[in-house]
């Protein structure tokens, strides 16, 4: 399948969110730049981006690059393109022109010169010429001039993608739809939806935030509401590719679901509420969004669980004087503190001076742009702390249970820290549900703490469980002597297969840690796991011991940490195979962080099970760490480690050289290796050897085996 280079534009500050979206849509070679992201893939990838991206503004297909320091050079470069491949001589045309650090600065002049080049070519060759239609042309051309170098592109989106098609009229100073989506993604709205929490916007205006929240919760492709895209009238359009993508989006549309979270928008202005109601009806989410007139201080939580309080108040520069708005910002803080306990507050504003009047401490600040205005999205968690948020700094008398937890955590810390210091281990498990009432797994990553709460059974009172969690989160930073803002919380449920890699958020914030003298990137907020499985630490060390001078294959590679270890051990080559572009990109970054790059270190995007069936090369050392169960849409059929491990091991062993080693690991606690089904292989159980001291409390955390071809004449 042919891969093409594309470029997606987005407002400044949203590049990371857009890059993450594109990777999730299957894009390759994703690279963020200022106000945009380049990516590669077949045309289908660009179609999906037009349909599914919530943060992009435009999807561009570059077709020519050339120097254009003069009007004549600009004209000649544009005219060198074969425009009949893109547009009929009887079609309509529009040209968008932008310039920076170039001699041609006048945008209207640049657009006119490009238009003339296209029109003149058609007139000379056919005697006919396209007409100009700036509103809805058959072909929209984008010409960007930077430092006298021109990039000429076909605009596949047509009208900007932030125009979903549902907003008929807006209240004063509305948010663009893609900016509203970015705010929701940074606020981890998808994670809150999975937890059953709701959303309240107490100053909803024309309803953009509540409507975008409903579309995201219902898994509605934002482009599904649009009547048209630019590529539909482009001569290079491939209807046979577009059709199935559109039908899939229609099938996923969940606006008729009955299990969606509660969403409410309030506003003191009745005209704004009416506008929001019109927009919600057009978006098809009116039954999902409660919109009503209500004064700010009368806003109230919705649903039975804590959720998000998201507000975009006026900034002062546009809608009034700063002094007149201080009282409004104070009421936002008072309302959040008094009426939304346990919720996470997010205030989006372009006036940092006014945020002081909120009177609440922001734990994080994200920089975004609303047009030309530099803004901040302030995160303000209200006790008790929310999943994925920093722990409370509140101090007070401890309950008997909280003191017992503090004592046990301190005991574990003293015991294991001696071992960690002696072995040079900086990332390790401090506590693992040692007290049943405090069912937490607590991992220390240098100066960061990753806390996972094992989901309490339904027989446990939710309020009591929440109270214990709150107590624990107050104790953890004190005992471990870390900044409370460096403590991150998740709820860990029983997982099947690739669910352990499920995306929870889209913040894209990575931290660098060290292990075994190597460097790795971890992420504490976006996924259930961090990107570095701590229980595999000895297994990775074993792979480094075995790797010298050998060709190494890493299957189901996740973030490639095993490949980094093998390369550090002197592997002749490494091949890293995983189905996820996101994790392959992560693996690439881990390899490069340690100085390993080039053809010796290959990354392959593929379903490992299918890949090994067709692969013909051989390896000296293979690491196989499959999921326990998988039913991924991108894979054929289902996979069950107990049911399918013999077939998988036999297929993988086929890729071993005669003296090669296959290290097989999995995390299924009830796994039983069927030794008798693999008589041709010598199988050594390494589980005990690869169990690190910090996981010894739960020795069934993983299984590990070493497999080799049985020598001729040897017996089982």
pLDDT in the model for residue 233? 94
pLDDT > 70: percent of the chain: 90
The residue with greater pLDDT, 494 or 700, is: 700
pLDDT in the model for residue 714? 57
Last residue within a domain, chosen from 124, 155, 186:
155
Which structural domain, as residue segments, surrounds residue 51? Answer: 4-155
In a domain, 34, yes or no: yes
Domain with residue 56: its CATH number is 3.30.2130.30
pLDDT in the model for residue 322? 67
Domain with residue 605: its CATH number is 3.40.50.150
Q: Are residues 523 and 485 in the same domain?
A: no
Confidence class for position 321, pLDDT limits 50, 70, 90: low
pLDDT > 90: percent of the chain: 71
Tens digit of pLDDT for each residue in 610-637?
Answer: 999 999 999 999 999 999 887 755 455 7
120 Cβ neighbours under 8 A, 6+ residues apart: 79
Helix (H, G, I), strand (E, B) or coil at 39: strand
476 Cβ neighbours under 8 A, 6+ residues apart: 391, 409, 442, 449, 451, 482, 487
The residue with greater pLDDT, 593 or 492, is: 593
Q: Where are the alpha helices (DSSP H) in 226-344?
A: 239-252, 270-283, 322-339
pLDDT in the model for residue 507? 45
Q: Are residues 480 and 568 in the same domain?
A: no
Helix (H, G, I), strand (E, B) or coil at 19: helix
Q: Are residues 449 and 488 in the same domain?
A: yes
Q: Are residues 479 and 524 in the same domain?
A: no
In a domain, 503, yes or no: no
pLDDT in the model for residue 323? 66
Helix (H, G, I), strand (E, B) or coil at 418: helix
In a domain, 556, yes or no: yes
In a domain, 715, yes or no: no
pLDDT in the model for residue 170? 47
Per the prediction, the chain carries an average pLDDT of 89
Q: Are residues 573 and 667 in the same domain?
A: yes
Q: What is the C-alpha to C-alpha distance for residues 41 and 64, in angstroms, rounded to an integer?
A: 18
**Angle 561-568/581-593 helices, nearest 10 degrees?**
30
Give me the mean pLDDT over the 209-237 stretch. 96
What Rg value do the Cα atoms of the chain yield, rounded? 28
Q: What is the C-alpha to C-alpha distance for residues 539 and 549, in angstroms, rounded to an integer?
A: 19
Helix (H, G, I), strand (E, B) or coil at 469: helix
Strand pairing class (131-132; 149-155): unpaired
Check: CB of residue 577 under 8 Å from CB of residue 557.
Answer: yes
Helix (H, G, I), strand (E, B) or coil at 153: strand
Q: Are residues 686 and 601 in the same domain?
A: yes
Last residue within a domain, chosen from 381, 411, 441:
381
In a domain, 227, yes or no: no
In a domain, 95, yes or no: yes
Q: Are residues 556 and 705 in the same domain?
A: yes
Domain with residue 477: its CATH number is 3.30.750.80
For residue 325, pLDDT over 90 is answered with no
Angle at 590 between CA 585 and CA 591, to 5 degrees: 95
Last residue within a domain, chosen from 349, 381, 413:
381
In a domain, 414, yes or no: yes
For residue 215, pLDDT over 90 is answered with yes
Is the pTM value of this prediction over 0.85?
no
Q: Are residues 342 and 424 in the same domain?
A: no
In DSSP terms, 150 is beta-bridged to 66, 145
Q: What is the C-alpha to C-alpha distance for residues 251 and 259, in angstroms, rounded to an integer?
A: 17
Tens digit of pLDDT for each residue in 61-83?
Answer: 999 999 999 999 999 999 999 99
For residue 712, pLDDT over 90 is answered with no
Q: Per the omega criterion (within 30 degrees of 0), is the bond before 384 cis?
A: yes
Tens digit of pLDDT for each residue in 287-300?
Answer: 999 998 887 877 88
Confidence class for position 494, pLDDT limits 50, 70, 90: low
For residue 716, pLDDT over 60 is answered with no
Q: Are residues 375 and 459 in the same domain?
A: no
Tens digit of pLDDT for each residue in 496-508?
Answer: 444 444 444 444 5
In a domain, 506, yes or no: no
Q: Are residues 591 and 678 in the same domain?
A: yes
Mean pLDDT check: name the lowest of 31-35, 554-558, 637-641.
637-641
Check: CB of residue 281 under 8 Å from CB of residue 209.
Answer: no
Q: At 130, list the tokens.
A: 């396209």
Number of separate domains in the chain? 4
Check: CB of residue 492 under 8 Å from CB of residue 500.
Answer: no
Check: CB of residue 46 under 8 Å from CB of residue 402.
Answer: no
pLDDT in the model for residue 169? 52
Confidence class for position 385, pLDDT limits 50, 70, 90: very low
Give me the mean pLDDT over the 379-407 stretch. 66
Tens digit of pLDDT for each residue in 112-152?
Answer: 999 999 999 999 999 999 999 988 999 999 999 999 999 99
Q: What is the C-alpha to C-alpha distance for residues 535 and 455, in angstroms, rounded to an integer?
A: 21
pLDDT in the model for residue 513? 95
Strand pairing class (656-666; 681-685): unpaired
pLDDT in the model for residue 198? 96
Q: Are residues 460 and 422 in the same domain?
A: yes
Q: DSSP letter at 524?
A: S
Q: Are residues 181 and 69 in the same domain?
A: no
HSE on the CB side for 166, CA within 13 Å?
31
Check: CB of residue 81 under 8 Å from CB of residue 42.
Answer: no
């Amino acid at each position: 399948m042919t891969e093409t280079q594309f470029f997606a534009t987005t407002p400044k500050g949203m590049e990371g969110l857009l890059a993450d979206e594109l990777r999730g849509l299957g894009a390759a070679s994703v690279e963020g730049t200022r106000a945009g992201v380049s990516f590669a893939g077949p045309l289908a990838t660009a179609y999906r981006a037009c349909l599914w991206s919530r943060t992009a503004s435009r999807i561009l297909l570059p077709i020519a690059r050339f120097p254009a320091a003069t009007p004549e050079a600009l004209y000649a470069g544009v005219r060198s393109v074969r425009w009949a491949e893109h547009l009929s001589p009887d079609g309509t045309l529009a040209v968008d022109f932008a310039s920076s650090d170039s001699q041609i600065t006048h945008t209207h002049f640049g657009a006119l010169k490009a238009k003339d080049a296209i029109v003149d070519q058609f007139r000379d060759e056919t005697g006919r010429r396209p007409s100009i239609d700036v509103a809805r042309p058959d072909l929209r051309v984008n010409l960007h001039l930077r430092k006298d170098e021109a990039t000429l592109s076909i605009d596949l989106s047509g009208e900007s993608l932030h125009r979903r098609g549902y907003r008929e009229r807006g209240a004063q100073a509305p948010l663009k739809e893609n900016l509203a989506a970015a705010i929701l993604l940074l606020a981890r709205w998808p994670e809150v939806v999975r937890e059953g929490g709701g959303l309240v916007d107490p100053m909803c205006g024309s309803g953009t935030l509540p409507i975008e929240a409903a579309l995201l919760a219902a898994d509605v492709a934002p482009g599904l509401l649009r009547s048209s895209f630019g590529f539909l009238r482009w001569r290079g359009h491939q209807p046979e590719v577009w059709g199935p993508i559109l039908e899939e989006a229609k099938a996923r549309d969940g606006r008729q679901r009955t299990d969606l979270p509660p969403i409410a928008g309030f506003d003191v202005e009745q005209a704004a509420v009416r506008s929001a109601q019109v927009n919600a009806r057009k978006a098809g989410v009116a039954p999902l969004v409660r919109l009503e007139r209500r004064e700010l201080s009368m806003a109230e939580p919705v649903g039975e669980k804590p959720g998000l309080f998201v507000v975009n108040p006026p900034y002062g520069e546009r809608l009034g004087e700063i002094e007149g708005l201080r009282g409004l910002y104070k009421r936002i803080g008072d309302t959040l503190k008094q009426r939304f306990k346990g919720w996470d507050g997010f205030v989006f504003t372009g006036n940092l001076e006014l945020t002081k009047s909120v009177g609440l401490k922001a734990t994080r600040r994200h920089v975004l742009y609303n047009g030309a205005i530099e803004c901040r999205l302030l995160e303000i968690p209200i006790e008790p702390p929310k999943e994925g948020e920093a722990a409370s700094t509140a101090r007070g008398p401890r309950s008997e249970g909280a003191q017992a937890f503090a004592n046990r955590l301190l005991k574990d810390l003293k015991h294991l820290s001696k071992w960690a210091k002696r072995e040079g281990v900086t990332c390790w498990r401090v506590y693992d549900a040692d007290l049943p009432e405090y069912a937490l797994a607590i991992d220390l990553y240098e100066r960061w703490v990753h806390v996972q709460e094992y989901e309490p059974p339904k027989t446990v009172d939710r309020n009591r469980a929440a109270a214990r969690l709150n107590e624990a989160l107050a104790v953890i930073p004190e005992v471990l002597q870390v900044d409370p803002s460096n403590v991150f919380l998740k709820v860990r449920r029983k997982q099947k297969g690739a669910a352990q890699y499920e995306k929870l958020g889209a913040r894209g914030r990575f931290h660098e840690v060290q292990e075994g003298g190597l460097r790795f990137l971890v992420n504490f907020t976006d996924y259930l796991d961090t990107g570095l499985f701590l229980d595999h630490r000895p297994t990775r060390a074993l792979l480094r011991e075995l790797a010298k001078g050998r060709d190494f294959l890493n299957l189901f590679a996740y973030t490639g940490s095993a490949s980094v270890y093998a390369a550090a051990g002197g592997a002749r080559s490494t091949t890293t195979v995983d189905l996820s572009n996101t994790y392959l990109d992560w693996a690439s970054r881990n390899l490069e962080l340690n100085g390993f790059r080039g053809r010796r270190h290959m990354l392959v995007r593929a379903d490992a099970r299918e890949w090994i069936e067709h692969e013909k090369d051989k390896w000296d050392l293979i690491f196989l760490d499959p999921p326990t169960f998988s039913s991924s849409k991108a894979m054929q059929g289902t996979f069950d480690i107990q049911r399918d491990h013999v077939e998988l091991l036999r297929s993988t062993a086929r890729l071993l050289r005669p003296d090669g080693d296959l290290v097989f690991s999995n995390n299924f606690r009830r796994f039983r290796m069927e030794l008798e089904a693999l008589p041709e292989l010598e199988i050594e159980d390494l589980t005990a050897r690869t169990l690190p001291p910090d996981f010894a409390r739960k020795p069934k955390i993983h299984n590990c085996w070493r497999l080799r071809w049985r020598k001729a004449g040897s017996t089982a």
